[in-house]
Amino acid sequence: MSGTLDPSAPQRSYLWQDGTLRSWLLTRDHKRIALLYLGSITAFFALGSVGAALVRLQLLEPTGTILSDATYNRMFTMHGVVMVWLFLVPSIPVTLGNFLVPLMLGARDLAFPRLNLLSWYLFVASGLLVVYGLFRGGLETGWTFYTPLSSEYTEGRVLPVVLGVFLNGFSSIATGVNFIVSIHQLRAPGMGWYRLPLMLWALYATSVIFVLATPVLGITLLLLAFEHLFRVGVFDPSLGGDPLLFQQLFWFYSHPAVYIMILPGMGVVSEIVSTFCHKPVFGYRFVAWSSVSIAAIGFVVWGHHMFVAGTSLYSAIVFSMFSFFVSVPSAIKVFNWLGTMHGGSIRLDAPMLYAMGFIGLFTVGGLTGLFLASLAADVHLTQTYFVVAHFHYIMVGGMVSAYFGGLHYWWPKITGRMYPETWGRLAAGLIFFGFNLTFLPQFILGFEGMPRRYATYPAQFQVLNVLSSAGAGILAVAYALPLVYFTWSLFRGARAPDNPWRATGLEWRTASPPPVENFAETPVVTTYAYDYAELDGRAGPPGTAVGGPHV
Amino acid sequence: MSDGSALDHHSPYETPLHRDETAVAGMWLFLASEALLFGGLFLVCLIYSHTRAGGWAEGVRHTNLSIGAANTLILITSSAVYTMAVEAGKRGDNRRVVRAGLGAAVLGLTFLALKGVEWGQEFRENLFPGPHFALHGPDTGGAQLFYSFYFLATFLHGMHMVVGIGLILWICRKARHRAFSAAWNTPVDIVGLYWSFVDLVWMLLFPLLYLIGRA
Amino acid sequence: MARIAVCWGMLVLLLAAELAAARLGSGIGVGVLAVLMVLVIVLGFMQILRAPPLAIIFALGGLFWLTILLALGSLDSFTRTTVPVHAAALPGPTAE
Ligand code: HEM
Ligand SMILES: [Cu+2]
């Protein structure tokens, strides 16, 4: 806002250079595309939350309160499909990632700006198709679309939903190609691989999954659509086809995809933890390579979703073993974050609260993943609320927290305004509390044997279900808070300085909000990513920044 | 990838060479992604051709080998002809790009036309899977699975052909306006990568659909 | 030009050999020849060796992941003992 009004300002901010709708819809500026994405995925997040709210309302009573069984099935499907593909898979990469990748690289834009815009249009088109299917008829298969339920027995709208998710995949691939190629080709002079911020390592690893796993989802859904549309056999057991083949193909994508839904969060947390401890990340190279190895090993564990489906024992053993391996790099990250915090002067601003929430909740989710990866335990726990709690701890407790943490952290850079800190901390605390109240009972429920995806349940489970639904209510309020105060801050928030958190990283060396071309002149990198000594040398003695350090 | 060889003001690149190499690398990455798209189909084929070997082979025996082989030859030739356009592009010879490009596109269309004839035959012979499926052998299920694979694979490959032909025609149009020069011809190159990839996929589909298990 | 003609000739010869191998019933032979044809295209037409090194990395990456998909994806079907997957083990010739 200041940019255009202040004649002395050397460059125009990307936000206000040209306010026409056309300039937004045809923009090739990665920063604006990030905001287009931010708007769209926020809408889908709201939509998915409505689905969750209805599910939790229904489960207040053992016999169900408001929905018919069929509607219940449609609601949890809606919730899952929307949350996974229209919110969580794109979340951090397409918003913070699109905004930050060029800035962190010291580049003017992504490698293929037009492709980037195309990916947003594909995303919107896919979202509209999915929503059309889900509201004109709905779908009862769950987000996993297992055959033959989805091909033969369904009464729902398979085609629009499946084709929507198919399109969505191409939007992901476009983003992935763009990030990988940009990180290879557009690093500023002096920016070697080991000088990249860890966020970029994480996004690189995520993009590998985008590019190499998503096409397999594409072909899987195409096979499914083909089978469903023409009533021919592909996975049909009555022809000797193998319904488990669908699951193999589906999980070849979807297990790596769960890492799409956590790796970017790990990147964000690495940045936040380092900044708010004012210390370089402990074991930088380990954290960097653990992202890559999570992405790589994540490709060979998918069979753990099929332990009880009737797959061969050999395959189950192999996949169980790899699943144990994949937890190693995850643990490395957790210990390195703790190592970074150890002895640091930790500032507990809102982003850091979210990051700490992430670390705790991700650890719980990861450890329970190991329970599930053990063959014997999984036979008992599979298809129960234990699994639901496991992945929500990681995807919601972990990733959504990281997403909110990242939004708070980079909000000053994106908008040029500070958010209200007190409200930020309050929301972070409330989210943590509401989250645990919602999902901790589900671990117990699952352990006691309550199956997932049923509209009703035995009366003895009611207390825990009521607790869980109450938590969901708190969570809903807590998620709405940032929406309110972020909007408020756009107009009334204090103006943000260029580097409000005294962070390293090239994005903090340009104006807030950045000018259209990102940097007045291409920055030259001379030190490693988290060199606070150099930063303090540039910025004057430590302790001069807002909110002095406190342990 | 802006038009012409000059870098525009907001371009993220330092030099035109930097931009062009990036574009080529990007295309290869996209092709790696495409390889996994077809990879899913190959997995289906790998599994069913073993678990339902009898029916699968019966299906293979009923495909039209003459059309399949002719199409393979056509596609090889088309890819070679388009590679001549790439070479012409490197010299900045727009006229040749147009000629070779059109040649490749016509060959591609011939492939599609023959494929259409083949599909027509198969529909008439009731080889499309379903209740009226023609092959009643001991493993009709396996044969149906084969034909599901056959139709989906050729459809998907055909769609790639359509896109490829569209891209080639786009190149020809640009070349007619003398868009390319020895200094800047990356689009010709990139479309060539895509077109050869489509050819490459067929080199794998052809033996799977027509040859292995035939004798 | 000459390069293109040579590659084209090699592909035609390989195609002929492939047809012959198919007639002899040698599935392996057909497979090997198909891989050779792919190599001719990648090296001769797409000229991967003259592309930027990144392109080679991307291509090898794609190949590697394709191998994972095919190897681990078929592991279950080829070793499954609990539920029969082979035609021979089905109850009747035309299981409904
Ligand atoms: C430490 C590494 C992890 C291990 C060992 C692990 C293990 C498992 C196992 C064995 C299952 C199958 C449970 C069953 O259906 O019986 C499972 C389910 C699931 N996990 Fe994880 N997991 C890990 C990390 C993650 C992460 C990082 C995410 C997401 C960001 C995630 C998301 C999911 C989801 C969504 C499901 C359920 C899918 C469904 O059936 O709907 N997991 N996990
Ligand atoms: Cu998994």
Would you state the pLDDT for residue A368? 95
Find the mean pLDDT for residues A112-121: 96
- Averaged pLDDT for residues A190-216: 96
Q: Chain B partners of A520 at a C-beta cutoff of 8 Å? A: none
**Is the pLDDT reported for residue A442 higher than 80?**
yes
CB-CB under 8 Å, C90 with A299: no
Distance between CA C41 and CA B203 in Å, rounded?
Answer: 9
Instruction: Convert A65-130 into a string of H (helix), E (strand) and C (coil).
Output: CCCCHHHHHHHHHHHHHHHHHHHHCCHHHHHHHHHHHHHHHCCCCCCCHHHHHHHHHHHHHHHHHH
Interface test with A, best of B1, B29, B132, B140 (most A CBs within 10 A): B29
Say yes or no for a CB contact (<8 Å) between B36 and C62: yes
> What is residue A495's predicted lDDT score, i.e. its pLDDT?
93
Of the listed ligands, the closest to the CA of A305 is 1
Q: For C66, name the nearest residue in chain A, comparing CA atoms only.
A: A212
Q: What does the alpha-carbon distance between residue A368 and residue A371 come to, in Å, rounded to a whole number?
A: 5
Say if B139 is an interface residue toward chain A (CB within 8 Å). Answer: yes
Per CB-CB distance under 8 Å, the chain C contacts of A248 are 73, 76
**Locus of tokens 């870098």:** B7
Q: Under 8 Å CB-to-CB from B200, ≥6 apart: which residues?
A: C38, C41, C42
Nearest chain A residue to B144, by CA: A233
Interface with chain B: mutation pick from A114, A208, A231, A239, highest number of B CBs within 10 Å: A239
Structure tokens at A131: 């929503």
Ligand 1 pocket residue status of A370, Cβ below 6 Å? yes
Q: What is the CA(A217)–ligand 2 centre distance, in A?
A: 15
With a 6 Å cutoff on the Cβ, whether A368 touches ligand 1 is no
Give the environment of ion ligand 2: residues with CB less than 5 A.
A 255
User: What is the number of the ligand closest to the CA of A83?
Assistant: 1
Average pLDDT over residues A451-469: 95
Least confident window among A302-311, A471-480, A503-512, A542-551: A542-551
In percent, the amount of chain A with pLDDT more than 90 equals 82
Q: For residue A447, what is the enclosing H or E element?
A: helix A421-447
Chain C, nearest residue to A301 by Cα: C72
A340-369 average pLDDT score: 94
Ligand nearest to the CA of A391: 1
d(CA B188, CA B173): 11
Whether residue A366 has its Cβ less than 6 Å from ligand 1: yes
Per-residue model confidence (pLDDT) at position A345: 86
Ligand 1 mutation target, pool A304, A317, A386, most atoms within 8 A of CB:
A304
Answer whether 0.80 is exceeded by the pTM. yes
- From the first residue on, what is the mean pLDDT of each consecutive set of 10 residues in chain C (96 residues)? 93 96 92 96 94 93 95 86 53 39
- The CA distance from C53 to the nearest CA of chain A, in Å, is 11
Q: Of A299, A311, A319, which is closest to C65 when you measure between CB atoms?
A: A299
Q: Per-residue confidence at A540, pLDDT binned at 50, 70, 90?
A: low
Asked if C22's CB is within 8 angstroms of B207's CB, the reply is yes
pLDDT over threshold 60, residue A7: no
Q: What radius of gyration, in Å, describes the C-alpha atoms of chain C?
A: 20
Please tell me the total number of residues recorded for chain B in this structure.
215
Question: How would residue A340 be classed by pLDDT, with cut points 50, 70 and 90?
Answer: very high
In this complex, the residue of C22, C31, C93 whose CB is nearest that of residue B215 is C22
> Both tokens of residue B201?
């996929």
Question: Which has the minimum average pLDDT: A16-25, A124-133, B206-215?
Answer: A16-25
Instruction: Tell me how close the Cα of A227 comes to any Cα of chain C, in angstroms.
Output: 17
Phi/psi of residue A451, nearest 5 degrees: -75, 155
In this model, does residue A477 exceed pLDDT 80?
yes
Best mean pLDDT range from A253-267, A527-541, C68-82: A253-267
| Residue A187 CA, ligand 2 centroid: distance in Å | 33
Q: Which of A265, A281, A267, A272 is nearest to A402 (CA)?
A: A265
**C73 closest CB neighbour out of B43, B87, B141:** B43
Any idea which of A69-83, A465-479, A509-523 has the lowest mean pLDDT? A509-523
pLDDT band at A233 (very low <50, low <70, confident <90, very high): confident
Comparison of pLDDT for A66 and A199, the residue scoring more: A199
Question: B182, B127 in Cβ contact below 8 A?
Answer: no
Q: What is the mean pLDDT of chain A?
A: 91
Cβ contact C1–B24 (<8 Å): no
pLDDT at residue C85, as a whole number? 56
| ipTM score for this prediction | 0.92
Distance CA A465, CA A536 (A): 51
Q: How far apart are CA C81 and CA A287, in angstroms?
A: 41
Nearest CB to B51; choose among C52, C54, C77: C77
* B41 shares contact with chain A (CB less than 8 Å): yes
pLDDT at site C84: 58
Contact C80 A311 (CB under 8 A): yes
- Assess whether the C-beta atom of A394 lies below 6 angstroms from ligand 1: yes
The reported pLDDT for the residue numbered C82 is 58
Q: What is the mean pLDDT of residues A156-185?
A: 95
What's the pLDDT at A509?
A: 92
Count other C-beta atoms under 10 Å from residue A279's C-beta.
19
Does residue A76 carry a pLDDT above 80? yes
For residues A214 and A280, is the Cβ–Cβ distance under 8 A?
Answer: no
The pLDDT score that the predictor gives to residue A481 is 95
Regions of chain B where pLDDT drops below 70: 1-10
- Interface probe for B, chosen from A214, A219, A253, A302 (most Cβ of B below 10 Å), is A219
Q: Cβ of C34 and B72 within 8 Å?
A: no
Whether residue A323 has its Cβ less than 6 Å from ligand 1: yes
Quick check: A303 and C76 CB within 8 A? yes
Percent of chain A exceeding pLDDT 70 equals 96
pLDDT of the residue at A535: 85
Residue in C with minimal Cα distance to A216: C69
The model's confidence at residue A104, banded by pLDDT at 50, 70 and 90, is very high
CA C42 / ligand 2 centre spacing (Å):
35
Å between A233 CA and nearest CA of chain C: 12
Q: How confident is the model at residue A482 (pLDDT cuts 50, 70, 90)?
A: very high
Write down the pLDDT at residue A148. Answer: 86
Q: Which of A109, A222, A516 sits opposite B12 (nearest CB)?
A: A109
At A344, is the pLDDT very low, low, confident or very high (cuts 50, 70, 90)?
A: confident
Backbone angles phi, psi at B214, to 5 degrees: -75, -45
pLDDT of residue A536: 84
Give me the phi and psi of A515, to 5 degrees please. Answer: -70, 170
Mean pLDDT is lowest, of A288-297, A404-413, A518-527, for A518-527
- Does position A202 have pLDDT exceeding 90, yes or no? yes
Q: Which CATH architecture has domain A30-539?
A: Up-down Bundle (1.20)
| Domain locations along chain C | 2-75
**What pLDDT shows up at residue C86?**
54
Q: Which CATH class is domain B37-211?
A: mainly alpha
- What does the alpha-carbon distance between residue A494 and residue A416 come to, in Å, rounded to a whole number? 9
8-state DSSP, A459: G
Average pLDDT on A218-230 reads 93
Per-residue pLDDT, averaged over A173-196, amounts to: 95
CB A536 within 8 A of CB A34: no
Q: Tell me which residue of A52, A394, A57 sits closest to A255, measured CA to CA.
A: A394
Q: How far is the CA of A366 from the centre of ligand 1 (A)?
A: 8
Q: Is the peptide bond before A549 cis (omega within 30 degrees of 0)?
A: no
pLDDT tens-digit profile of B34-72?
Answer: 999 999 999 999 999 998 889 999 999 999 999 999 999
Residues of B in contact with C59 (CB under 8 A): 28, 31-32
Q: DSSP characters for chain B?
A: --SSSS--TT-S-SSHHHHHHHHHHHHHHHHHHHHHHHHHHHHHHHHHHHHTHHHHHHHHHTS-HHHHHHHHHHHHHHHHHHHHHHHHHHHT-HHHHHHHHHHHHHHHHHHHHHHHHHHHHHHHTT-SSSTT-S--STTHHHHHHHHHHHHHHHHHHHHHHHHHHHHHHHHHHHHHTT---SS--HHHHHHHHHHHHHHHHHHHHHIIIIITT--
